[in-house]
């Protein structure tokens, strides 16, 4: 008969065996993924029946992102990962997240082996790159593998499903490295091949500005790049491509040239727009006046834009009537609006010659119209040279008073000493030469010429009484009627060679001389004493006889002199 102790021992052994059997059965599921059905949802856990002797619990936070409402309800059949058993009450701790991860790892390993792309979502930033959710497994995306080109802002890419290529994975360490760039490069290569095969000159394509240089821009056509030269961006002048394009800009371009061997593609944007040079000669006739904008200034002139794409050159010689040998930058400025005249149009060569000064009017013509000869003007002495004075007649217009037109009586060099730069003077307009761009002025002409009466009265051959004013080695200077200056050369001082000495005359002495030349403009006379004596001798001999009749030259001259004196006394 069994004792109580025996029964107790048997019962304990049976319970231990039963417990071992139960735990052993459950232990076979530890660390594996099983299927269960949700039978209850509490505040923090979902209770799941997984077909074992005890139920499992799954934290609700594993069914939804943080802060969101868990997407789980009674009756849902889900896959779970068996984490551990709680010995006290026999409950099983399950994980929905680890189940997804295990499943994801399994699928990812298959894709990695087959070199297939996988889908994922960029959801966070880490040092050196970003984190990607691959359907439960977290992978690392290096910053250099985000795109083909450096991306400054990844925000638009985050949160949206995208394809990735697995570069490396280690399940034991839980490391996965993926690349978005590899997928893009593969896609780009496919697109490039397809595009190259169908590419023809004249095709119009959509592209994205990839890079900008000094000579143009590289445009991504979807797998292949083409060069958009700066001269093919627009019909108007562009100094640098950045004036019209920005990196990342969507553009429509035309294939201008394509070399299948080198696969070089030349693109153009302006070719998709109407050529503004068509009919330019009709739109801009010669001698027409138009307004334009200064776009560029060089040493030889300035370019003026008449309309977008149509520019003309104002040569430096056509910029100003008065400013000579001045850099164009001192006359006009970039972006300045100016009026110009069309001087010449060469449509085939795309050249238009413009004149800036012609649109403003010739200042000499305008001055001549407003100030005919004889007009009295007043201006400031701007400059004094060795030959005269320059008088300001406007902002950029000068007139010249030659030193010979400063005074009727005082020599020019001496008259100039009375003037200083900055003095205001009055003058009379003598002449305006529009072609030579000269305005002649006179100061002495403000008064009547005191010698005018004398000049009107005297003639070549007249004998006049002179007063010696200056003795020079080559002759003497004299005054006639106190207003006209004359000069008697040494050879004309006497009939006899021995008397042709200037020093035998004295300043203030009166002499009679014959006029040989009259310079009315210079108000000067050329005279001769010798000629007068020769003529008197000829007349005396004609009247009183000759030496052939027996009379001496002294007798003849003596008689002529006595007769002249007698006539003078009778008068």
pLDDT recorded at residue 22: 45
Range of the structural domain that residue 510 is part of: 452-528
pLDDT recorded at residue 332: 92
Q: Are residues 338 and 376 in the same domain?
A: no
Structural domain contains residue 394: yes
Q: Which of 114, 146, 170 is at the close of a domain?
A: 114
CA-based radius of gyration for the chain: 58
Structural domain contains residue 398: yes
CATH number of the domain to which 382 belongs: 2.40.50.140
423 vs 272: CA distance, rounded Å? 65
479 vs 519: CA distance, rounded Å? 14
Q: Parallel, antiparallel, or unpaired: how do β-strands 438-442 and 484-489 relate?
A: unpaired
Structural domain contains residue 497: yes
The number of residues making up the chain comes to 571
Could you tell me if 305 and 237 are in contact, meaning their C-beta atoms sit under 8 angstroms apart?
yes
Structural domain contains residue 89: yes
Could you tell me if 392 and 424 are in contact, meaning their C-beta atoms sit under 8 angstroms apart?
no
Which has the closest alpha carbon to 396: 431, 427, 360?
A: 360
pLDDT recorded at residue 481: 86
Q: Are residues 39 and 102 in the same domain?
A: yes
Q: Are residues 354 and 426 in the same domain?
A: no
* Domain count of the fold of the chain: 5
Q: Are residues 409 and 457 in the same domain?
A: no
Which residue do the tokens 């009547």 mark? 448
For 48, counting Cβ atoms within 10 Å of its Cβ (0-12 exposed, 13-18 middle, 19+ buried), the class is: buried
Which 8-state DSSP code applies to residue 483? T
Structural domain contains residue 318: yes
399 vs 258: CA distance, rounded Å? 65
Structural domain contains residue 334: yes
Q: Which residues of the chain fall below pLDDT 50?
A: 1-12, 15-27, 66-67, 87, 547, 549-550
Which has the closest alpha carbon to 312: 328, 298, 295?
A: 295
Structural domain contains residue 432: yes
Print burial letters for 111-139: b (CB count within 10 Å at least 16), e (below 16).
bbeeeebbebbbeeeeeebbebbbbbbbb
518 vs 375: CA distance, rounded Å? 29
Instruction: Write the CB contacts of 69 (distance below 8 Å, at least 6 apart in sequence).
Output: none
Q: Which of 359, 383, 414 is at the close of a domain?
A: 359
pLDDT recorded at residue 561: 61
pLDDT recorded at residue 6: 44
Could you tell me if 36 and 56 are in contact, meaning their C-beta atoms sit under 8 angstroms apart?
yes
Could you tell me if 48 and 94 are in contact, meaning their C-beta atoms sit under 8 angstroms apart?
yes
Q: Which of 359, 374, 409 is at the close of a domain?
A: 359
Which has the closest alpha carbon to 214: 187, 191, 233?
A: 233
pLDDT recorded at residue 188: 75
Query: How many Cα atoms occupy the beta-carbon half-sphere of 311 within 13 Å?
Result: 19
């Amino acid at each position: 008969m069994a004792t109580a102790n025996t029964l107790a021992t048997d019962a304990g052994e049976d319970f231990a065996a039963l417990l071992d059997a139960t735990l052993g059965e459950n232990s076979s599921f530890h660390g594996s993924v099983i299927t269960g059905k949700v039978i209850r949802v509490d505040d923090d856990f979902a209770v799941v029946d997984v077909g074992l002797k005890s139920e499992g619990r799954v934290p609700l936070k594993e069914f939804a992102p943080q802060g969101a409402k868990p997407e789980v309800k009674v009756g849902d059949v889900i896959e779970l990962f068996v984490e551990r058993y709680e010995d006290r009450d026999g409950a099983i701790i399950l994980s929905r997240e680890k189940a997804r991860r295990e499943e994801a790892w399994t699928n990812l390993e298959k894709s990695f082996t087959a070199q297939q792309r996988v889908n994922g979502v960029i959801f966070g930033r880490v040092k050196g790159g970003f984190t990607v959710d691959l359907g439960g497994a977290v992978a690392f995306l290096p910053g250099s593998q985000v795109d083909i080109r450096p991306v400054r802002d990844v925000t638009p890419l985050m949160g949206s499903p995208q394809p990735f290529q697995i570069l490396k994975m280690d399940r034991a360490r839980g490391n996965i490295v993926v690349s978005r760039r590899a997928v893009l490069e593969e896609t780009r290569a496919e697109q490039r091949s397809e595009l190259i095969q169908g590419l023809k000159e004249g095709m119009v394509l959509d592209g994205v500005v990839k890079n900008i240089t000094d000579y143009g821009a590289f445009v991504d056509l979807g797998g292949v790049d083409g060069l958009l030269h700066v001269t093919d961006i627009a019909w108007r002048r562009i100094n640098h491509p950045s004036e019209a394009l920005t990196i990342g800009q969507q553009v429509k371009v035309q294939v201008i040239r394509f070399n299948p061997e080198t696969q070089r593609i030349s693109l153009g944007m302006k070719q998709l727009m109407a050529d503004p040079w068509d009919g330019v000669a009709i739109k801009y006739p010669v001698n027409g006046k138009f307004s334009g904008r200064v776009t560029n200034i060089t040493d030889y002139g300035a370019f003026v834009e008449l309309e977008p794409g149509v520019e003309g050159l104002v040569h430096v010689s056509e910029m100003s009537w008065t400013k000579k040998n001045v850099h164009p930058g001192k006359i006009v400025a970039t972006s300045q609006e100016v009026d110009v005249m069309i001087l010449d149009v060469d449509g085939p060569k795309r050249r238009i010659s413009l004149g800036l000064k012609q649109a403003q009017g010739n200042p000499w013509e305008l001055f001549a119209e407003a100030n005919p000869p004889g007009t009295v003007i007043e201006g400031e002495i701007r400059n004094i040279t060795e030959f005269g004075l320059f008088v300001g007649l406007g902002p950029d217009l000068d007139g010249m008073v030659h030193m010979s037109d400063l005074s009727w009586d005082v020599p020019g060099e001496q008259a100039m000493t009375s003037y200083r730069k900055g003095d205001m003077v009055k003058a009379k307009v003598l002449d305006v030469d529009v072609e030579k761009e000269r305005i002649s002025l006179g100061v002495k002409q403000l008064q009547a010429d005191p010698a005018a009466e004398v000049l009107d009265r005297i003639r070549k051959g007249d004998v006049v009484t002179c007063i010696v004013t200056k003795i020079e080695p080559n002759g003497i200077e004299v005054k006639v009627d106190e207003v006209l200056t004359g000069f008697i050369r040494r050879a004309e001082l006497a009939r006899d060679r021995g008397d042709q000495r200037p020093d035998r005359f004295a300043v203030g002495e009166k002499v009679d001389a014959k006029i040989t030349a009259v310079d009315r403009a210079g108000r000067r006379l050329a005279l001769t004493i010798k000629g007068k004596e020769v003529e008197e001798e000829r007349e005396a001999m004609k009247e009183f006889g000759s030496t052939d009749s027996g009379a001496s030259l002294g007798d003849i001259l003596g008689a002529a002199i006595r007769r002249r004196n007698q006539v003078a006394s009778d008068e």
